Structures are given as C-alpha cells and as structure tokens.
Chain A
Amino acid sequence: MTQDKKDWPLWEVFIRSKQGLNHKHVGSLRAADSTMAVENARDVYTRRQEGISIWVVPSNLITASDPSDEESLFEPSASKVYRHPTFYDVPDGISHM
C-alpha cells in the first residue's frame, strides 16, 4: 500500500457487542497501521463498554455498490413480499431475529 506518510490511511471499524452477535460497523478512523487502528478503535469506540471484539479493515479495500444502481439492485425486491418470513409465528424465546 503506497501512501503519503503525512496522510494516514482510513480504517473502517467493526465492533461485536457481546458473545454470539456479529460485528457491526460503527464508524471509521485514521491510523498509521493496523495495530494502531485497533488501539485507536478501542479508545474511540469502546469507552462505554460497547464491545468485546474489534475488527478494522482498510477503507480502500472495501468494494461498495454504486448508489446510481439503486433502482436495479434494490427496487425489484420491494414487490416481493413473499420473500419475508412474515407468514410464520416466531416461537417464544428466539431473540436477535
């Protein structure tokens, strides 16, 4: 990764809040390397016990969908209600659905 030394790379931060849940994107920050990015994420994003695990990913390694493709990517599913499991009753005691 080549970069201007004066401009630290941007990192995306993912935090897992407790055992069994998945990591969630919480924000981004700048850091010189991955070790410092984890430390910075600890300081910036877990001050109030938000997490038990941290992932950092260089922002430039993320490939994103193009906002102008929104219509073709996402709208077709709007009319397909049968894809939602709304015709079932969720049993008691199932959380995180």
Chain B
Amino acid sequence: MTKQEALYNYVLRLGDDSLILGQRLAELCGHGPILEEDIALTNISLDLIGQATLFLDYAGALGGEKKSNDDLAFLRLEKEYVNALLLEQPNGHFGDTIMRQFLFDAFRKPLLESLQHSSEKELASIAEKALKETKYHLKHSSEWVIRLGDGTDESHDKIQGSLHTLYRYSHELFFEDESDFLLQKSKIVPELNSIKLEWEKTVKNVFEMAGIALPENDWKFEGGRQGRHSEHMGFLLTELQYMQRTYPNMEW
C-alpha cells in the first residue's frame, strides 16, 4: 500500500463519519423536540455535511479515479462506505440522538485537534476548520447529556438506556488497520490510543455530572470501517442516494 492509498482510506473514513451522521441529523429537520433544538440539530447536520464535502473532495483528489465529492457521497454501494456503525444508528428518541452525538463529538474533537497539526497541509486545514464547529457540537451534546441525566427520573432512565444501547458501538471509533499504521509511522495522523485517553476523560467527566453509569458488559460491535454495516444503513442510503439514482447527474 502506498502512502497516498492509505491517506485515501483515512480521509474517506473521516468524510463518511461526517456524511452519515449529517444525514441522520438531517432527518430531524422539522421534527426536533422543540423549535430551538430543531434548529440546533439542523445546524450541526449542515456543519457535518460541510465537513463531508471537504473530506470527500480531498479523498476524490487522492483516489486517482477523478471522483467528485458527489460521486463519493451518492454513488457508492453500501459496502464501500466506511463510517463507524455508531453513526448510522437510528435517531430513536431525543436521548438516543444526543448520546450518539456525544460519543462521537468526544472522539472527533481530540482527533481534529491533533490532525490540525498534520504534516499533510490539506488535511490539517480541513481539520482546523472542522474543529471550530466540532467544539461547539461537543459543548451542545455534553450540556444535554448532563441535563437529561440529571433531570427528571424519566429523562435519567431514558439517557441511561441510550448509553446502554450505544456504548457498544463506541469502541469502533478507535479501529485501526494498516492504513492507520502507515500514516502514523510518517507522523501524518495520531495514534488513536492518545485520542482514546482524551475520549475516556471527557466521557467519564460528563457522565459523572450527568449521574449515569457506563454499562458493565464489554460487548463491542464493529464492521462499519470495513464496509460491513447494520441493517439500518440500506434504508439511510436509499434516502440519501435517491435523487442521484433516479435522475443521474442532476444538479440544483
């Protein structure tokens, strides 16, 4: 594997994580629990889709097949998407949406903080831009986890349940393979061990304030990074790809 191929794989993962979570949040446009939160979630969705645009644009340039970001976003097969399984999980109730967001934001922020100093200039500049947005996303999702956990009995039980369901997907965020190792050796990307320490610190801190506990079982799900997705992914892609599949090359 060449360095360029490894970088393509790496950037595609960053782009797909943003794209798929952005699409999930976009489903809530007009369906948020309150007007203020509806707008907040849609803002975050737009931030993520903006990040996906930049990452996939960059990936397309690295890929050598002259694919545009639209080609990558809309015209791949399910098994060609490499987002983590966490991000394709359904919105569920508001607690589920917030917990999924929090587990991801707590990972994405330290990752981008490190990537903004990458020796690959393009990667560094996208990370720097995305970091500003992600800092706010993490603040927003943390505040909500704390309030739901420390709110009423019902909100506490619900957010605890969300954590129970989603925690098993969080381990995959730290998935690494030969693409990562190759780039880590050239100091282009950080080792995920260091990111995981940051993640654990944030998660522990926020859950402590929220009064919720990590699940005791150590069940781990993975597969998304290798293109093996959960049953939800097909439905998500059907909606995401509908226009390009039905009217190929359409623009608006």
Contacts and interface: CB of A to CB of B under 8 A. Distances in A.
B179 interface: no
Contacts of A36: 143, 147
B189 to A, nearest CB: 31
B128 to A, nearest CB: 19
Interface in A23-50: 29-33, 35-36, 39-40, 42-44, 47
Contacts of A47: 39, 43
A31 B147 CA distance: 12
**B interface, by DSSP: helix, strand, loop or mixed?**
helix
B250 interface: no
B152 interface: yes
A43 B39 contact: yes
B65 interface: no
B40 interface: yes
A35 B146 CA distance: 12
Interface residues of B, number: 13
Contacts, number: 28
Contacts of A29: 35-36
Interface in B136-186: 136, 139-140, 143, 147, 152
Interface size class of A (residues with CB under 8 A): 10 to 19
Contact of B36 (A5, A33, A44): A44
B34 A30 contact: yes
A35 B37 CA distance: 14
A31 B144 CA distance: 12
Interface of B: 34-37, 39-40, 43, 136, 139-140, 143, 147, 152
22 contacts: A29-B35, A30-B34, A30-B36, A31-B36, A32-B147, A33-B147, A35-B143, A36-B143, A36-B147, A39-B40, A39-B139, A39-B140, A39-B143, A40-B37, A40-B40, A43-B36, A43-B40, A44-B35, A44-B36, A44-B39, A47-B39, A47-B43
Q: Please provide the 10 A-B residue pairs with the shortest distance between their CB atoms, ordered closest to farther.
A: A40-B36, A43-B40, A43-B39, A44-B39, A29-B36, A43-B43, A44-B36, A39-B140, A32-B147, A35-B143
